[in-house]
Structure 1
Amino acid sequence: MTAELSFLRQQARTQRFTLGAPKEFRVSPDGATVLFLRAASGTDRRNSLWSLDLGTGTESVVVDAAELLPGEEELPPEERARRERARETSGGVVGYAVDGEFRIATFSLSGKLFTVDLADGTITTLVDGAAIDPRPNAAGTHVAYVRDRGLRIADLGTGSDTLLIGEDGEDGEDGEDIAWGLAEFIAAEEMNRARGYWWSPDGRAVLVERTDRSAVPRWNIADPANPDTPVDTVAYPAAGSSNVDVSLSFLGLDGSRVDVERGDWEYLAAVHWSVGGPPLIAVQSRDQKWYEIHAVDPADGSTRRLHAEDDEHWIDLTAGVPAWTADGRLVRVSPADGSHRLIVDGVAVTDPVLQVRSVLHVGEEVLFSASAADPTQIHVYRTSGGSVERLSTSDGVHIGSGGTEVTVLSSWSLERSGPEVSVLSDGKAVAGITSSTVDPGIVPEPRWLTVGERGLRAALLLPRGYEPADGPLPVLLDPYGGPHAQRVLQSRNAFLTSQWLADQGFAVLVADGRGTPGRGPAWEREIAGALAEVTLADQVDALRATAAKHPELDLGKVAIRGWSYGGYLSALAVLRRPDVFHAGVAGAPVTDWSLYDTHYTERYLGTPQDEPDSYRRNSLIADAPELRSALLLVHGLADDNVFVAHSLRLSSALLAAGRAHTFLPLAGATHMSPQGEDMAENLMLTQVRWIKRELGVE
């Protein structure tokens, strides 16, 4: 990285300084080998498949993506959509799967399906095009994958490739609306479920999701910058409208089919099938106020309820559960005693002080992540004979992979940029894995704060080298501020952009309010029916409480910027609290909650049909005549998550009310902020110049 390259260009080129970090770890059954993905350098966007020999400490390339398939990738539409849902911006090998004995790995590259023999490194092209989510069975004899909305099976012994189900319609149905083996939009975007099929432990059958989107509204995405480009029509389940219809079937390699009994549930939240017990499904009602775990009988498709819970607001979904332990104990996460607790065989094994974030692996014991009293840190734990042991030892944010015996820790902290990756054997470090991320050249200097009567966690960043004698600083709030995501975390990378903004002459405040994770069910439910009121109030409280401790903040010059929910919060701030916020940059904001998806929106607001007042109070269109502060709207025209209609409708309402504002459309951009170096750099510089101008700052 040259000295002439600006921070913003470095950030774009390195995908926020994450390229070159190893990820997607798999540990072999004998604990001798770790597979992982990593790019060749901190500026290479293509991941390759690597292997670490724990006996020798040697890292070696198993699949070199650039050598295997040079040039630009050509992705099938389903794969592009899958990556958008996962916010995956890198290329090359972005995912892979292995058989039970670590003999073969399968992966797709530019839509082609490959297998690699993990013993001798032989790579075989199995399918030459449009293969999605390839996975071998445990025996390593067959590979399943999705193509043209149908599930196919490749027999590695005979070389045959068979359509198991789907494609060209079935039983007279329209094949365009029916898909087998693909997770629907809501599952991938909101429920953290990216898979649509699951192999049986013996490898002789597959439990497959069938989706029917025929009743889902069709929304159109045009490309105004290229009017000759066909309109992209997508099925989008907006709040109050029909969801994709989801069902399950057991499909045997012998051609048999058993349909799973369909209950009165709306959402298929999770599926698990292991040697520990029968297949498990977790399901939710449309209003998400009840949740059930069922065991499914592959012989006749009948289901048996194992667990049920309900809540007056909603039931949270936790990644990695439900699951069976190897000896047949049911693992789940449920609220109890004010905490999200790990429950094994009906017994809470974590103390109330821990807020369980996710379950990472279930075998004989359980590997999971959780936060204790400090929500700015996330640690990795394991169960051990009825007790709980913390495996991560340093302050920071830790991500765990592997199992409880051999564990891979990716540790992000304030002490370094990029992760430190270590391999633990029985809790003791035995090896490291190289991380090749680029040094950003900025060391953030956050001042950690707990402010206000609610103890809001916040971080204040001032220009490096700033002294009080330099005079008061204009203030820039830089929040996300909504559910499911935190900004205030003990990781250097979390504050790189905020520190750069501070160095432009601002006091930058980042605050996590009610609704953000890590502080328990009651804290998260404070936003029920009141997204606008609660999340905005917490940003105002954080600002005022911080200014009371730091007189260098100039409350006469306050701006706010954000993207997605942060964009909504920014527009909300200038519309409803112009006495506090004098300028706001709203990137990809939700402005009308009736235009956002079912699962997310209805969890907090109900449906537009049942709760019209709630939608009116929490949406922004009716507030347009009240705009008194400066507002810059930024939105990607190809956004298929928060459609550009949100910003267009607010802009139209503002114009009709005679309220001046600025609207910056981004041609070809999706919900992910622009990735190209020129666009990324100039978009940020444009925001900074605009904020300074509106605040009257030189």
Structure 2
Amino acid sequence: LPATNEVIWFSERDDWGQLYLYDLTTGQLKSKITSGEGNVAQLRRVDETSRTIWFVGNGKERGRDPYFRQFYKIRIDGTGLTLLTPEDADHEIALAPSGQYFVDTYSKPDTPPVTVLRDLDGKTIVTLETADVSRLRATGWKPPMSITVKARDGKTDLYGLLYLPTNLDRGKKYPIVNHIYPGPQTGSVGGRGFSPARGDAQALAELGFVVVEIDGMGTPWRSKSFHDAYYGKMGDNTLPDQVAGMKELAQHYPWIDINRAGIYGHSGGGFAAADAMFRYPDFFKVGISEAGNHDQREYEDDWGERYQGLLARTPDASDSYAPEANQLLAKNLKGKLLLAHGTMDDNVPPYNTLLVVNELIKANKDFDLILLPNRTHGFGNEAYMVRRRWDYFVKYLLGAEPPREYEIGRLRPNTR
């Protein structure tokens, strides 16, 4: 703030992402601008004359999904906090170039978007657009179910999505498959807005599974202590929360067969999926690990150092990263594991997976391996990989024989 020689500073010092006002001359803290539970996610506008700021925040409205983004204004002295987006939904904000208005598009995973124009006091000027998804619903499409379960501590609420077969038979038992991304920079669910498809989770459910995504402890957008839950213990991978959440869901929904649990993920999710098969070999029966960074010593230094801490040698001639490395746990495998990696992966070097392969061979374990020639990191949505993923769960978790070499996206002629 040049006129007053002040600066607005962001900090999580009180366990939440807050804004603070500092004196640039003395470096002293003048006041705390925001307070209470919930985070400031983006500072979007500052009016030095009226001493007012506008920001995107989350987790500040009790009783709502804490991942929903909301838009607020507050005076720099910390008074007058005002919610400008009252709808219980996730809000995508676009400020007008003049700074006097904003476009607000709000939606939920099961509610299509509505776009309105508001002024900077939150007053709705006009409704610009309401999405019509009637044609989508006419195809038989159904949204995922929002869920809340307890974390490993039995107290902390975790949020996620549950995907069910369209023609769910509540008298049957369905295997449950966890689609995981452990963070720490994001979570399994992703954005909370409306989306017609979230990867192939619903497609997998239609094959006869219940598919779940849970943002466990150690992922962002909650408190700092929540985000720090497994700092220095990357092998945690939110797995205690995933297991606790899946067991709770099975207690609540009798059509979930918790004795047939699977897991899959890509990149960090690949690390977590293999980790799950090694650390919870009696719980997870089938796992698919794609492009996993299985040993942080063999991955980007800025990743391990950011979330595991600096590598330190230990008295047993090992180091602080070793307990988190998947290859050292590979001997625990009991279920069916499919490993996949692109041979030209320019993010996670392929030898991350080969380290695990080598130890599985040493331990005389059966497993499956796909190396995709000349693929880089993002092969997870390639039709061949998707089909092999579906086939693996159908065969080994559902106990059925998948159609041989089914081609996704190609309509077969009607032979009737």
Deviation at 1:467, TM superposition (A): 2.7
SS in structure 2 opposite 1:584?
Answer: strand
Counterpart for residue 409 of structure 1: 104
Q: 1:449 aligns with which of 140, 144, 148?
A: 148
Counterpart for residue 218 of structure 1: none
Counterpart for residue 693 of structure 1: 395
Counterpart for residue 368 of structure 1: 55
Deviation at 1:583, TM superposition (A): 0.7
Deviation at 1:687, TM superposition (A): 0.4
| Whole-angstrom distance in 1 between the partners of 2:219 and 2:196 | 16
Q: Answer whether contact 1:360 1:400 (CA < 8 A) is retained.
A: no
Aligned residues: 369
Counterpart residue identity of residue 391, structure 1? L
| Whole-angstrom distance in 2 between the partners of 1:343 and 1:610 | 39
Deviation at 1:363, TM superposition (A): 4.7
Counterpart for residue 407 of structure 2: none
Counterpart for residue 564 of structure 1: 267
For residues 592 and 336 of structure 1, do their structure 2 counterparts lie closer, same or farther at Cα, with a shift above 3 Å needed?
A: closer
Counterpart for residue 348 of structure 1: 32
For residues 672 and 328 of structure 1, do their structure 2 counterparts lie closer, same or farther at Cα, with a shift above 3 Å needed?
A: farther
Counterpart residue identity of residue 692, structure 1? V
**Does 2:346 correspond to 1:640?**
yes
Q: Answer whether contact 2:72 2:84 (CA < 8 A) is retained.
A: yes
Q: Answer whether contact 1:458 1:542 (CA < 8 A) is retained.
A: no
Deviation at 1:415, TM superposition (A): 4.4
Deviation at 1:490, TM superposition (A): 3.8
Counterpart residue identity of residue 581, structure 1? F
Residue pairs, 1:34-433, within 5 angstroms = 276-277=1-2, 328-345=5-22, 346=29, 347-364=31-48, 365-372=52-59, 373=62, 374-384=65-75, 386-402=79-95, 405-417=100-112, 419-426=113-120, 427-430=122-125
Q: Answer whether contact 1:359 1:368 (CA < 8 A) is retained.
A: yes
For residues 407 and 571 of structure 1, do their structure 2 counterparts lie closer, same or farther at Cα, with a shift above 3 Å needed?
A: same
Counterpart residue identity of residue 19, structure 2? L
SS in structure 2 opposite 1:332?
Answer: strand
Deviation at 1:610, TM superposition (A): 4.6
Residue pairs, 1:538-557, within 5 angstroms = 538-557=241-260
Counterpart residue identity of residue 329, structure 1? E
For residues 674 and 499 of structure 1, do their structure 2 counterparts lie closer, same or farther at Cα, with a shift above 3 Å needed?
A: closer
Counterpart residue identity of residue 360, structure 1? R
| Whole-angstrom distance in 1 between the partners of 2:377 and 2:128 | 32
Q: 1:228-257 CA distances to partner (integer Å, 9 max, x unpaired)? A: xxxxxxxxxxxxxxxxxxxxxxxxxxxxxx
Q: 1:486 aligns with which of 187, 207, 219?
A: 187
SS in structure 2 opposite 1:695?
Answer: helix
SS in structure 1 opposite 2:297?
Answer: helix
For residues 696 and 432 of structure 1, do their structure 2 counterparts lie closer, same or farther at Cα, with a shift above 3 Å needed?
A: closer
Deviation at 1:416, TM superposition (A): 4.0
| Whole-angstrom distance in 2 between the partners of 1:606 and 1:671 | 25
**Does 2:377 correspond to 1:671?**
yes
Deviation at 1:593, TM superposition (A): 0.7
For residues 457 and 626 of structure 1, do their structure 2 counterparts lie closer, same or farther at Cα, with a shift above 3 Å needed?
A: same
Counterpart residue identity of residue 285, structure 2? H
Counterpart for residue 477 of structure 1: 178
Counterpart residue identity of residue 485, structure 1? T
SS in structure 2 opposite 1:575?
Answer: helix
For residues 394 and 551 of structure 1, do their structure 2 counterparts lie closer, same or farther at Cα, with a shift above 3 Å needed?
A: same
Q: Answer whether contact 2:110 2:144 (CA < 8 A) is retained.
A: no
Counterpart for residue 466 of structure 1: 168
Q: 1:104-145 CA distances to partner (integer Å, 9 max, x unpaired)? A: xxxxxxxxxxxxxxxxxxxxxxxxxxxxxxxxxxxxxxxxxx
Deviation at 1:599, TM superposition (A): 2.5
Counterpart residue identity of residue 145, structure 2? P
| Whole-angstrom distance in 1 between the partners of 2:357 and 2:46 | 49
**Does 2:366 correspond to 1:660?**
yes
Q: 1:351-406 CA distances to partner (integer Å, 9 max, x unpaired)? A: 31222223334453433222124323222223346422222232232232337632
| Whole-angstrom distance in 2 between the partners of 1:638 and 1:409 | 41
| Whole-angstrom distance in 2 between the partners of 1:477 and 1:660 | 22
Counterpart for residue 411 of structure 2: none
Deviation at 1:436, TM superposition (A): 9.4
Deviation at 1:689, TM superposition (A): 0.9
Q: 1:314-365 CA distances to partner (integer Å, 9 max, x unpaired)? A: xxxxxxxxxxxx7543112112433211223442222312222233344534
Counterpart residue identity of residue 478, structure 1? H
For residues 330 and 476 of structure 1, do their structure 2 counterparts lie closer, same or farther at Cα, with a shift above 3 Å needed?
A: same
Counterpart for residue 207 of structure 2: 504
Q: Answer whether contact 2:264 2:273 (CA < 8 A) is retained.
A: yes
Counterpart residue identity of residue 340, structure 1? G
| Whole-angstrom distance in 1 between the partners of 2:295 and 2:132 | 39
| Whole-angstrom distance in 2 between the partners of 1:628 and 1:392 | 50
Q: Answer whether contact 1:349 1:388 (CA < 8 A) is retained.
A: no
| Whole-angstrom distance in 2 between the partners of 1:582 and 1:621 | 18
For residues 498 and 437 of structure 1, do their structure 2 counterparts lie closer, same or farther at Cα, with a shift above 3 Å needed?
A: farther
Identity of aligned residues (%): 25
For residues 504 and 491 of structure 1, do their structure 2 counterparts lie closer, same or farther at Cα, with a shift above 3 Å needed?
A: farther
Gaps of 5+ in 2: 23-28, 401-416
SS in structure 1 opposite 2:82?
Answer: strand
Q: Answer whether contact 2:116 2:129 (CA < 8 A) is retained.
A: no
SS in structure 2 opposite 1:651?
Answer: helix
Counterpart for residue 592 of structure 1: 295
More deviation in 502-511 or 400-409? 400-409
Deviation at 1:560, TM superposition (A): 0.3
Gaps of 5+ in 1: 1-275, 278-325
TM-score by length of 1: 0.49
| Whole-angstrom distance in 1 between the partners of 2:159 and 2:16 | 18
Counterpart residue identity of residue 366, structure 1? I
